[in-house]
């Protein structure tokens, strides 16, 4: 049973640590997922609690995972793991049946799995949690009780610090399609299916069945065509159709025209400020960092725009109130939240490739950008 217990601890611990970590480095992403569930279940009154619950969930997962794997506060860890899985396993079954939100978000944006796969995964983890719980008293760490308590505090402080750091800045690891280095032009295009097509014909005299490649059969032979009649076709899929990784991104001007291609093919650097909600954005960031940077960019001849999920009227009011000398364009609010976890945030692009991303409090000056990029 020692081997079984160790396997259960390793599987349970690694899954919980990984799940807690990917949520901890992207607390806003987890909060958005909570908001999706609150809206789907008609509990909009809980929207205010989305971020605190996201922080609590990631912290608990990480602490329990580390505790089970390394034997820290073993009784508490075993109880926590069992209660955690006893709650979430039936919940994920309900979610799999009702399908209120396509992706449960259990692994953040790092690994996207279906609701049913999430439930099956939880069944497996629940079994591991039960094994750990049954043998919790036999799992004793080789250190003292004081050390045990100290390690528990260190792990808790570390994961909370990580969450708040990423909340104030940006996730230290970006799992989304808009990460630095990605070519957005490629990701907005679906992968077309590649397949070999075979046509099946039947001989009307003998009943014989023959199969021909769609690009190579004797269609222009009158004698053949008089005997052989089309019956069916067969497809051999070489490369299946895949949806685009970025599906809902667009840039719309004040006249309602789609100008996405114009900006995504900009041959020079494009300064793209993302503010998904102008009513909730950090206005001081515009006054202290964004406006001065925009003036410098204009002097150098670079394009500087703002993308927002707010209305054109709201954008106009905002422009006049904060003296923003650059145009505002509309885009999908959900996609803007995916682009950057900051409101506002700056995305530097060139020919559709993401060159850099900064939260509003970290937006660099033009001199700092010149040192990092070939800006002139």
CA distance 10 to 65: 9
Number of C-beta neighbours around residue 32 at 10 A: 18
pLDDT of residue 323: 87
Q: How far is CA 224 from CA 202, 255, 281, in A?
A: 11, 59, 72
pLDDT of residue 97: 92
DSSP strand pairing (269-275 vs 345-350): antiparallel
pLDDT of residue 143: 83
What is this structure's pTM?
Answer: 0.84
Taken in order of first residue, the domains within the chain and their CATH numbers are 2-168 (no CATH), 194-239 (no CATH), 260-372 (3.40.30.10)
Mean pLDDT of the chain: 92
Phi first, then psi, for residue 110 (nearest 5°) are -70, -45
pLDDT of residue 375: 80
| 212, 199 contact by CB (below 8 A) | yes
Token pair for residue 336? Answer: 């803007």
Evaluate if residue 245 carries a pLDDT over 90: no
pLDDT of residue 248: 86
Number of C-beta neighbours around residue 287 at 10 A: 13
pLDDT of residue 191: 78
Tell me which residue of 275, 266, 270, 264 sits closest to 359, measured CA to CA.
Answer: 275
| 344, 276 contact by CB (below 8 A) | no
Evaluate if residue 4 carries a pLDDT over 80: yes
pLDDT of residue 34: 92
DSSP letter assigned to residue 228: E
Span 105-123, pLDDT tens digits: 888 888 888 899 999 999 9
Q: At what angle do helices 2-24 and 145-168 cross, to 10 degrees?
A: 30
Q: 3-state DSSP call for residue 326? A: coil
Span 143-188, pLDDT tens digits: 888 899 999 999 999 999 999 999 999 999 999 999 999 999 888 8
Confidence tier at 90 by pLDDT (50, 70, 90):
very high
Tell me which residue of 143, 139, 120, 141 sits closest to 131, measured CA to CA.
Answer: 139
Evaluate if residue 88 carries a pLDDT over 80: yes
Token pair for residue 314? Answer: 């709201």
Phi first, then psi, for residue 52 (nearest 5°) are -60, -40
**Rounded mean pLDDT of 290-316?**
93
CA distance 341 to 23: 13
Evaluate if residue 190 carries a pLDDT over 80: no
**Rounded mean pLDDT of 279-285?**
94
> What is the number of residues in the chain?
376
pLDDT of residue 243: 80
Span 5-55, pLDDT tens digits: 999 999 999 999 999 999 999 999 999 999 999 998 889 999 999 999 999
Evaluate if residue 373 carries a pLDDT over 80: yes
């Amino acid at each position: 049973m020692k081997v079984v217990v160790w396997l259960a601890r390793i599987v349970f611990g690694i899954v919980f640590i990984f799940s807690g970590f990917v949520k901890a480095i992207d607390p806003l992403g987890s909060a958005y997922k909570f908001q999706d569930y609150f809206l789907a279940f008609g509990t909009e009154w809980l929207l205010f609690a989305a971020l605190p619950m996201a922080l609590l969930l990631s912290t608990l997962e990480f602490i329990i995972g580390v505790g089970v794997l390394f034997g820290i506060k073993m009784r508490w860890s075993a109880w926590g793991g069992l209660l955690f899985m006893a709650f979430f396993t039936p919940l994920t079954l309900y979610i799999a049946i009702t399908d209120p939100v396509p992706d449960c978000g259990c692994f953040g944006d790092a690994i996207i799995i279906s609701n049913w796969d999430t439930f099956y995964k939880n069944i497996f983890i629940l079994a591991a949690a039960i094994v750990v719980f049954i043998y919790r008293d036999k799992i004793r760490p080789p250190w003292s009780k004081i050390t045990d308590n100290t390690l528990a505090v260190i792990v808790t402080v570390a994961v909370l610090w990580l969450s708040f750091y990423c909340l104030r800045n940006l996730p230290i690891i970006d799992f989304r399609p808009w990460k630095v280095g990605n070519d957005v032009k490629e990701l907005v295009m679906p992968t077309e299916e590649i397949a070999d097509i075979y046509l099946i014909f039947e001989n009307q005299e003998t009943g014989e069945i023959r199969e021909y490649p769609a690009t190579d059969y004797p269609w222009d032979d009158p004698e053949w065509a008089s005997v052989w009649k089309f019956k069916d076709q067969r497809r051999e899929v070489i490369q299946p159709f895949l949806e685009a990784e970025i599906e809902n991104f667009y840039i719309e001007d004040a006249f309602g025209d789609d100008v996405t291609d114009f900006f995504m093919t900009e041959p020079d650097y494009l300064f793209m400020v993302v503010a998904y909600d102008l009513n909730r954005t950090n206005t001081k960031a515009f006054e202290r960092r964004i406006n001065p940077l925009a003036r410098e960019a204009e002097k150098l001849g670079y394009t500087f725009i703002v993308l927002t999920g707010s209305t054109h009227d709201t954008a106009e009011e905002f422009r006049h109130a904060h003296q923003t000398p650059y145009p505002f364009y509309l885009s999908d609010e959900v996609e803007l939240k995916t682009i950057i976890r900051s409101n506002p945030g700056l995305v530097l692009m060139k020919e559709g490739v993401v060159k850099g991303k900064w939260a509003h409090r970290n937006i660099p000056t033009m001199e700092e950008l010149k040192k990092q990029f070939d800006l002139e």
